Structures are given as structure tokens and as C-alpha cells.
Structure 1
């Protein structure tokens, strides 16, 4: 039995002993280096590109501009949520006549060394004819705003409209109406390792590309199409990855440019992104504005809810298509049963770096908006905010429950859940009933305490399918080949535990093979918290088929019915008397003697996602002098259906919380009015360190198994992130309840809190009701 046990990760020995192999570690014979020349303007026509001096620079091997690329080269396609109407907003590997954001690739320089390439890049002279930039969604949709993609005819590129019930009629019947505008700032994943690639052409016209991540097989298909090569002639190999978080591994311009350049010069080419490049050009995320109208009764029951959302998608539509806007809209109602909904989402182009997914895409944003509104309703009615949540949650007997909204090609339909129960558990864990006493004691000591909650529903297990092949070789070695990718989530450990459960082989003796298109025939990859749900289910069924084949052979050898046999402890066991009947090595040998190949494949398909859910609770302390927000206690209660490895789940939640904390208090990709990025270094773009991240108390529950897969699992990768901002914001509001403050935007800065405190307390209000 290995499922449900927090065994040690099989990935770690290599990594912690310094034996990991990252793309920057690859050094091949005759390898050369590439540098991308990028736009210094946010919006301009390109008048000319003079590369003559650069081509004469020592060590230069090749300089590419759009004129040097094939005339019929298509733009980079969408992977998720493809909308044909958005094809005119896709990005080409190199800018043609026009640039639309600072950092857009214009040329590629390949030289014998990075130094030579950088020197040559400085000699390329680009003449621009400036165009007015648009850097705000409201500015972008004005009638006189310059169009970024004239063939679409509007900077409001795409509109998603969802309705449930009659919002206007319900609103008229509501005795209370709340109208607010809330904003979420632009920030991104910022992994420790920046992006990189090594492309190595072979004499037989084969091409090997190192450094693919997350969606290796998709990138394989796209690269073959763009290069006009047979897929069999291209091999993509996944290296170790120093952080994924959604931003790594998509198909970027460089994923075409580096292989193309390598083929042109016939030598391996390496490109490693520097940190400033990363800040300017790797997918940004999050930036949204929400105009909310909520109608509710005197008990706090929400009867009508409308949100008009403005998503800043940047200059182009990248491989994610409109995934983030769709998920924002689809998951916005969260765990609440709201009578009437209307949500309108605008996908708007601006002269900023294109956006994509970042851990909890759409849900981080929507959860902040929804959970702040819940607390605002509680504040207006003077009712305990957890009671407001209690009165609005979807009941267990309503499951499966649909909110009537579609996202990623499917209706949002919650498979199972007991939201009331987990709210009760969270209140008990943080001693909510006794908090007022602790607050008064702190106030007597000159300290301001606040406690805030946030409920959420996550999505996980996005299909449509995932592949696995499980094999035991003649010499007894066990292999699991998966279409998933390893982005640090413990995928190898999870799969080896699942195979171990079926085959009775120790989990650390099962080798997981992934991320190599020559070794794994197909796959969808690791994203959208899908690994355990979809990839794990494929491994479960593949290893089950292999187990059945072994037991069928054992049954014939032992003259015992196969239903009385099982595999455990590297042996065939009798299920009743628990006796070991035959070592598995002997059984494997017998199978091969009989010509039985011990290899099974399975493709697990699913039409619906699974929906884990939980509660975040934060207790904060406000420094009266500086406005600093200190997190004294942080609690996450999370129901994942079934936990394959509780240690991995806990690690995911803690790591996710740290990233959510960054988006709540520190991180912001800020632009000036000309479209220049102002926070392109860690001097200006703040991230939380070990000092800022508090101890996170985790309660993992397995109360509501998913009926949609054989393991009953739901994903755990993003639930640690999505509830952080509203939990902390609500806690800060709770601490400053006697001051005039309204948190409707992120990040929450100490200077804002300090100013509020210096302005003094507002007039006395009665204490919060507790019923």
C-alpha cells in the first residue's frame, strides 16, 4: 500500500546533490550562442533594420530578421480556447512591419559566444516611426484609440457573455445593492530559472531540441508545422526545470527561432533568457478590472450578481487563447448558490507584454473580487462574514451542481463537495469564536489584530485525455512512460506510487520516463492541475491491465483463481491467507518464457473537470508606525477528494501560498505612460522571501471523492494560491475596522495602510454582530 502515504520524493536526490541537468548545463560540440534583439518601443512602425555592421562583428555566424524567415511562416497558434476570430491577433516569431510592446523580438543574433552575440546586437540599427501607445484597458477601448490589430477592428478583441436567471428582475427585488470596482495588478510567475533552449541539428537532417517543458508534445507538433518538417525528424527533450508556474513551457517566439537558426548554420545553438528579458517578455498575467453589482437581502443572501470584467491581454494572443478570461468568468461565482448571474468579460489589447496563465489563472483574480464583496456585504449588514458565507454556500444535497457557465469547452459542473462542513472546520481551526477576546487583549497591548476568511472552489483535471504506458522488462525493471511533464510538482513520485499500488513493486524501483518525444508516443502535458487526475488515472488503468496480465499467468501456474491472488511486496500473494506464493521476478521470467510481453498502454479520457475546494484564513497584525502587515497565523483547509501523497499536497499548498502572498502584498509589473516597464529588476519587482512567508498550517481532507476518475482524486496544485489575496485583505480590513479604509485593489502596500492609520479613526460604530 503506497497510495495515501507521504513517501519521499524520488526526484530529490539528483536535485539536492547538484546532479540535476538544466538547459543551461548543456554544452555540445561547436555549440554557439544566440541573443534576441528586442523592441525598445511600445508601439511603432519599423522603418528599417540595418544589420551590416553587426554582421561584420567578430564571431557572428547569423543574423535573422523577419525578412530572413520563410514568407509563408504562420503565426504561433493557440493551444487552449482557440477562437478563430482571434487569429489576427496572434504573434509571429519576429516582428514584421510593426512592434506592439517593449521587448518584442525583432532580430536574432547567433555568434560563437554570448559576448560576441551581445556586442553584435548592440550594432544593429533599427529605425522606428513611433505610434501612440495604449497602456490601459479603458484607454484602449475609446473610439479614438489606435488599433493594435486593424483586421479585428477593435481593441476589445473578444467578449464572453454568460447569464443565469434574470439579473435585472432579481436586482429590483433586492433591498440592498452594492456597486464596486476592484482591480488586480499585473504580475507573473518569475521562476528561479529563466527560459532557455538548445537546438542541435544532426547530419541526417534530424533535429534535437532541449529545454521544452510543460507541454512537450504540443510544442513538438507546432515546431514541426512551423519548420515544415516531419515530426519523426524532430526530437524534443525535457530537461530539469527550475520552476514552471504556468509561464514556462508554452510555445514562445524563441521556441521557433533557435531551432530555425540551428538548422540554418548547421551547429547547436543555445539561448538563455536573462532576467530583464524574462520580466519584459515571458507571459505576464492577472491584470483585470471588475465592475461588480451585487443585490442581497437583509440576511445577506445574494440574489443577483453582475460583473463586467476588463482583461488586459497585452499586445497579442498567445498559446493560451482566452483561457484566463474564460476561467475568471466560469469560476467567479465560487462555492455560492446565486439566483441570478450576469458576467461580461472583455479581452482587451494594450501595448504591453502578452499575458497567459499563472498559477490559479482567473481564479486568483475572481476569488479576490468575490470574497471581498462577501465581506463588504457582511460589513454593511453588520453580520459575521462567515455567517454570510454559510447562508450562500451550495449545499451538499445540491451536488452535482452547475452554475450555468461554460469555460474551456465545458459546463462548470461541480462534481462533489461539502462546503458548509469545510467552513465549519476552518472556523474551528482558527478559533474564530474566541478571536474577539484575543483582539481585545492585543489592543490593550497596543497591537492591531485582524482575522479574515476566503472560500474558494478550484478546477482540476482538465482533459481531454492523457497517456501512460507501463512496462516490466525481462530483467525485472519497471517503467512508467507518461505524457505529463515534470515542473517540480512531484509527478514522478505520484505516478510511481500509483503503479506501485497495482504492481506490488516498491515505488522507488519504478522509473518514470517523460518529456522525450522519441520515448513517449503522445501526451498533453502538465498544466491546469491535471497531472494526478488525468495522468494518474491513465497510470492506474495501464498498471491495472499489466497487473491482470501477471495475475492471469500466475493463476495458470499455481492453479488458483486469479481473483484469489494479488501483487504485493514483490510477490504474488494469496488474498485470504496472505501467504507469498511466488516472487514477482519468477513470475516475470515465466511470462517472457511464454512470449507474454509485459507492456500495457492506456489513454484516460474525461469530459469534465474535478473541483476541489477549501478555505483560507489569515490572522494579521498591523504595525501602527510603519503600516507593515505581519501574518501571525495562516490556515488552509482543503478537500482534495483523495490524497495520493499528503506530503506532496502539503508542499503544493505551501508553495502556492507563497506565490499568492507575492501577488497580494509585493509583486507588480508596472508600466509608465509610454509603455516602458518600470519594474524589470528585483530592485523594483518585490518577491516574498523566507522571512516574509509565514508558517502555513494545512488541513487536508478527503471527505468528498470525485466520481469522475478511478482514484477519486481532485487536484492540489493551485488551491494554495487562489485564496490568499482575499483572506489577507479581509484580515487587514478586520484589523482596521475603526479606520476609513476600503481594499479594492492589489497589491496592499504598507504606505497605503500607514496613511490610513495617520488619518485617524472614523466615528464609532457598533461592534460586529455575531449571529
Structure 2
């Protein structure tokens, strides 16, 4: 919102000022010198950035520059935008580990230290494993977040899931692939260089094809070499930055103070999305959560310090009726050089957009700056000078 305020003071269009100052691929993020997380911070390069496409698409969707009017003189319509940046875990501090085992029927179990908190991390680990091992995803089982079964993981925080825990699953699956090829070559008395894996779960290129179930039977039998198991870790000293551009159109009733979100468009760069539907679901949920704290959610205390908004109804969490009239999420694909399969984080960054973009749109509609959550009818009317 500060950039929007500066643009107004300079007499510039908000987007014009953003374009003059925003990050681009190849830039150095000097601000990271101040964010060492207990260590000396250092600048980092931006090696992938989807803001060009996100801004272009968002401006097209919102019809930026087109003034919208209402037939109701009390309704003022405005548009806003903002850009977002996040990280993917904490390189140099975080570590993830994973184990992938071939079971007796040729299926696989992935034991990941990363906990799926509803983010779809288990599916990410399963998809990466299935992709690398050329197996049907139904043949991959994930056991995660259980310290009795899974190896160490720093934790499900700081948008680290896909980058770190997913990276460990990828590394473990790649190690197991090499073991599968080496053991198949030994059993078929041929060179592993000529062998490859083929969907849905077999080794080809040798004197004969060998299915995973056949391979498991040989390795785990009485004369076998032992169960095929691979473990791997993932650490990083490189940063992987997701980006986003959010656009909104609001209708503000200057008589009642009510804010209605007519349009909300979230354009998100999460690298190469491992599971696009789950990624979009994370953005929808993250945006709606931040719409809640921007417009409705508030802890109100009486004179003796007792909270009066102690249940979900009075506190004001958003419900299905609060979804914007036109609510869209589009993924802007980039290929990050460090993330597994080019992926970056997605969930946490989507929470960052609603408050600034709605505040900017409210200013565009009726000329007030709201610097305190929530943007409730009372606070809107107070900023308009209609109540004290």
C-alpha cells in the first residue's frame, strides 16, 4: 500500500510506479542482507520470476484504467493491485530427508519427514516418486510426519514443503532408480547403461523386460540381494522465490461503509506446479483467509480485557457467501533452476495479497486510506469522517 500512496503523491499510475521499481529475473535482492535468520545475511539473485506474465494477465483481466460506475450514487467502485514475493524454506538452515522402499509386490512406500498439514505435500512426494520411477501413482504410498517411521525434517513451515521435503523425495527416488537399474542389470547379466525404466513399472532395454514385481521377487527372495531401499536428504544454499500479482475490484457503500468484493484475480508464479489443482486450491484458500482478516475478523475486548468475539460467528471468519463475485486463480509457470522439477512454494505467498490489494481498491473507490484491519463498515465510515 505504501507504493500506492507514493504513486498518488507523485501523480503517477500505481502500475507505472511498480514497473519502474519491481524485481525482475536476474536482479539481486540486497534486502536479504538484513534477513540472516540468526546468521549474517547476504544478497541473493532472482533466478526465476513470473511477474512479467502475471502483471500482463492481471491488467488484462481487471481492465486496468477503465473506470467503473454504479447506478447507485452511494456505491463507489475502485480497483487495486499489488505484487508479492515469498521464499521457499530457509536455505542454509532447513534440511529434509526421505526414504523410498520397493515392497514385495513391486509397489513403493515413501517415508517423508515432512508433515502434510493440508497443503498436499503427500501428493507432491507421491507424484515425484511415481514420475521418476515410471510407476502408477496408485502404486506409491506415503508415510509422513511420523518420527517413528520417517527420517528427520526441519518441519512444515516457511513454505518449505515442496522445495525441501519434495526435494528430498525426488533425491531418494533418483537413488532408488539407479539401484533398480543396477540390480536389474545384474540379474539379466547385462550392462545397466542400456537399461531404462518404462511406465507402468518395468525395466526395458535388456535381454528381456523385467517388471517391478519380478524384480522385487528376485531381490527379496531367499537368494536375493536384499530389499531395494534408498534414502536421501535435501539441503540448499540457493534461494527459490515465488512471485504473485493480485488484482481486485470493490464496491464501497459510502452510506453504510460496507465493502463488497466484485472481482479478485490472483496470478501466482510457483515455478512448475507439481499438482496444479492442489496448487490452485491452496491459493483460493489462502486468499479467502486473508480476505477474512482484511475485512471481517476482529478481536474486540471489553473494559476489563475480556474478549467478546470468542466464537467463529462473532469473530467474523469468511464464509461461502463472502467469496468474491468473480474469483479466479491462474498459475504462471516458470522453471526454477533449483526447485524439484522446477517447482517453488505456493501456499504462504497467496495469503499476503488481500489486505494491500483491497486497501488500494478502497482508496481508488472513495479516496480513503485504511491502515488498520479490519476494513469493517465502522472503520470505513470513520475514515470517511461520518462517525467518530
Determine which structure has the larger helix proportion and give its number. Answer: 2
2:172 alignment partner, SS class: helix
Matched, 1:395 2:27: no
Segments of structure 1 that go 5 or more residues without pairing to the other structure are 1-371, 761-771
Among 75, 85, 95, the alignment partner of 1:457 is 85
Name 1:489's counterpart in structure 2.
119
1:390 alignment partner, SS class: helix
Among 322, 330, 342, the alignment partner of 1:699 is 330
Name 1:468's counterpart in structure 2.
98
Among 265, 270, 283, the alignment partner of 1:635 is 265
Name 1:248's counterpart in structure 2.
none
Segments of structure 2 that go 5 or more residues without pairing to the other structure are none
Per-residue CA deviations over 1:46-74 (Å, capped at 9, x if unaligned) read: xxxxxxxxxxxxxxxxxxxxxxxxxxxxx
Matched, 1:745 2:381: no
Equivalents in 2 of 1:574, 1:631: separation in Å? Answer: 58
Per-residue CA deviations over 1:162-201 (Å, capped at 9, x if unaligned) read: xxxxxxxxxxxxxxxxxxxxxxxxxxxxxxxxxxxxxxxx
Name 2:56's counterpart in structure 1.
424
Equivalents in 1 of 2:119, 2:273: separation in Å? Answer: 14
Does the CA contact (< 8 Å) of 1:533 and 1:709 recur in 2? yes
Equivalents in 1 of 2:96, 2:205: separation in Å? Answer: 33
**Cα gap change, 1:565 to 1:477, in 2 (>3 Å):** closer
How many pairs align?
Answer: 377
Name 1:666's counterpart in structure 2.
296
Equivalents in 2 of 1:719, 1:521: separation in Å? Answer: 28
Matched, 1:384 2:13: yes
Shift of 1:408: 1.9
Equivalents in 1 of 2:135, 2:371: separation in Å? Answer: 53
Equivalents in 1 of 2:94, 2:250: separation in Å? Answer: 42
Name 2:148's counterpart in structure 1.
518
Among 193, 197, 202, the alignment partner of 1:562 is 193
Among 195, 198, 202, the alignment partner of 1:571 is 202
Does the CA contact (< 8 Å) of 1:484 and 1:523 recur in 2? yes
Larger radius of gyration: 1
Does the CA contact (< 8 Å) of 1:430 and 1:617 recur in 2? yes
Per-residue CA deviations over 1:515-562 (Å, capped at 9, x if unaligned) read: 322222422221111111000110001011111111122234163543
1:691 alignment partner, SS class: helix
Name 1:551's counterpart in structure 2.
181
Shift of 1:467: 0.9
Matched, 1:586 2:198: no
Does the CA contact (< 8 Å) of 2:106 and 2:214 recur in 1? no
**Cα gap change, 1:558 to 1:691, in 2 (>3 Å):** farther
1:537 alignment partner, SS class: helix
Equivalents in 1 of 2:116, 2:24: separation in Å? Answer: 37
Does the CA contact (< 8 Å) of 1:502 and 1:567 recur in 2? no
Alignment of 1:186-225 (within 5 A): none
1:432 alignment partner, SS class: coil
Equivalents in 2 of 1:679, 1:446: separation in Å? Answer: 30
**Cα gap change, 1:421 to 1:543, in 2 (>3 Å):** same
Determine which structure has the larger strand proportion and give its number. Answer: 1
Per-residue CA deviations over 1:76-95 (Å, capped at 9, x if unaligned) read: xxxxxxxxxxxxxxxxxxxx
Alignment of 1:340-359 (within 5 A): none
Shift of 1:620: 0.8
Name 1:501's counterpart in structure 2.
131
Equivalents in 2 of 1:696, 1:411: separation in Å? Answer: 38
Query: TM-score, normalization: structure 2?
Result: 0.89
Shift of 1:451: 0.7
Equivalents in 2 of 1:718, 1:488: separation in Å? Answer: 12
Equivalents in 2 of 1:393, 1:756: separation in Å? Answer: 30
1:396 alignment partner, SS class: coil
Equivalents in 1 of 2:240, 2:123: separation in Å? Answer: 21
CA RMSD of aligned residues (A): 2.5
**Cα gap change, 1:683 to 1:474, in 2 (>3 Å):** closer
Equivalents in 2 of 1:475, 1:582: separation in Å? Answer: 13
Query: TM-score, normalization: structure 1?
Result: 0.46
Equivalents in 1 of 2:147, 2:312: separation in Å? Answer: 36
Equivalents in 1 of 2:323, 2:147: separation in Å? Answer: 38
Alignment of 1:535-546 (within 5 A): 535-546=165-176
Alignment of 1:256-295 (within 5 A): none
Equivalents in 1 of 2:120, 2:208: separation in Å? Answer: 32
Does the CA contact (< 8 Å) of 1:464 and 1:607 recur in 2? no
Shift of 1:443: 5.4
